[in-house]
Amino acid sequence: MNSIGGAVTQAIRPVVALILTGCGPCDDASRFIEQALKKEWDIDVIATKQAMTIMDTNNVDKAIERRIPRPIRTTWALPSDPPHRAADAYIVAPASANVIAKSALCLADTYVSSLLLEVIARKIPLIMLPSLKAWVTGREPFIGYVDSLRKEGVTVLLGGEDGIHPTNDSSKDGPLPPFPWYLAIEATEKALKNPVISNA
């Protein structure tokens, strides 16, 4: 709370939208929700149909919805839906190679790809934390997609000190390391401190 002219005002909590794509780590998205709530963010969750299928298998979607103010969204809002504040930042995690490619190419054939087209165009803070194999990251077209997104202001957490370093390991060969949700949390904190939003 802040005191202004003797009156006590409630600090506005940032709204952060988590976009889940159909990769294995989406089954562990409750870990992100737990970390994000500790930051006192209001969380919206958006999911592709494949992500919902993965989460529904273990009732992860229901566990998430018990901790967020609105149901998980999978499609455009209806006029009858209750209004809510727009997100101050978006996180795509886990970000599939498909979603990364579509975002770079301005393809908008699904709800998620259409939303990301708008988010990027309006310069709303966007963080992508990929989940993919190392062999994907070495392909020239994919390298170009990542470079293109970064030039438009998207934070792609791939390589370097602040990003993931994919391998070609498979869960069939044994347990994989936990998905590093904390990287998205840290990048979002930085983005919320320096937002640049265009209403164009």
Residue 2 lies in a domain: no
5 occurs within a structural domain: no
Q: What is the average pLDDT score of the chain?
A: 88
Domain that holds residue 19: 13-76+84-193
Whether residue 134 lies inside any domain: the answer is yes
User: H or E stretch including 148?
Assistant: helix 140-151
Does residue 177 carry a pLDDT above 90?
no
For residue 2, pLDDT over 50 is answered with no
Residue 68 has, within 13 A of its CA and on its CB side, a CA count of 28
Q: Is 111 helix (H, G, I), strand (E, B) or coil?
A: helix
> Residue 1 falls within a domain, yes or no?
no
Angle at 36 between CA 33 and CA 38, to 5 degrees: 110
pLDDT recorded at residue 174: 66
pLDDT at res. 200: 43
97: in domain: yes
In a domain, 91, yes or no: yes
Q: How many structural domains are present in the chain?
A: 1
170 inside domain: yes
CATH number assigned to the domain comprising residue 181:
3.40.50.1950
* Position 120 pLDDT exceeds 90: yes
Report the pLDDT averaged over residues 92-112.
96
Pairing of strands 7-9, 2-4: antiparallel
Can you tell me the mean pLDDT for 110-139?
96
Confidence at residue 199, expressed as pLDDT on a 0 to 100 scale: 45
| pLDDT above 80: residue 84 | no
Of 91-95, 160-164, 169-173, least confident by mean pLDDT is: 169-173
| Confidence check: pLDDT of 180 > 60 | yes
Domain annotation covers residue 199: no
Interval 49-66: pLDDT, tens:
999 998 887 778 888 998
> Model pTM?
0.88
